[in-house]
C-alpha cells in the first residue's frame, strides 16, 4: 500500500520536531519501519515512494518461452525443476513457475 505524500510529510515533520519514532508511528497508525524509512528518504530528498514491480528486465527470452511451450506439449508431466537446466540462462524454479503462469501453461501436479 502506498501512503500519500501529505501523510509522509506530516510524519517526517513530527519526527523532525523531536517526537520519537514510536510515538509518531502510533499517532499516525503506521509502522515504525515506515517512519524510519520516510525519515531517511526525506534526509536524502527522496520522500516519494519507489516504483513497485520488477526492478530489472527478465532473463528469460522468447526462445526460452518457445522451449517451455514445446517441452510442456511433448511431456505434460514435466516439472519446473526439469525445465530449469534446459533454458539458455540460469534462473530459479520460482522464476520458471512464474513464467509458465504468464504463458498460461499449467504443469501436472505430482502427488
Q: Which of 73, 78, 80, 82 is nearest to 100 (CA)?
A: 80
Largest CA distance in the chain: 66
Q: What is the mean pLDDT of the chain?
A: 91
Q: Which tens digit of pLDDT belongs to each residue from 95-111?
A: 999 999 999 998 766 55
Q: What is the pTM of this model?
A: 0.52
Q: Which of 90, 79, 83, 91 is nearest to 66 (CA)?
A: 83
Report which of residues 85 and 57 the model is more confident about: 85
Report which of residues 72 and 52 the model is more confident about: 72
The Cα–Cα gap between 81 and 86 comes to 10
Amino acid at each position: 500500500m502506498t501512503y500519500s505524500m501529505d501523510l509522509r510529510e506530516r510524519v517526517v515533520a513530527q519526527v523532525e520536531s523531536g517526537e520519537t519514532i514510536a510515538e509518531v508511528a502510533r499517532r499516525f497508525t503506521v509502522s515504525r519501519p515506515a517512519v524510519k524509512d520516510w525519515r531517511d528518504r526525506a534526509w536524502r530528498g527522496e520522500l516519494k515512494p519507489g516504483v513497485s514491480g520488477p526492478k530489472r528486465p527478465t532473463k528469460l527470452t522468447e526462445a526460452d518461452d518457445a522451449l517451455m511451450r514445446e517441452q510442456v506439449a511433448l511431456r505434460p508431466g514435466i516439472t519446473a525443476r526439469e525445465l530449469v537446466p534446459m533454458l539458455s540462462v540460469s534462473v530459479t524454479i520460482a522464476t520458471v513457475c512464474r513464467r509458465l503462469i504468464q504463458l498460461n501453461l499449467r504443469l501436472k501436479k505430482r502427488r
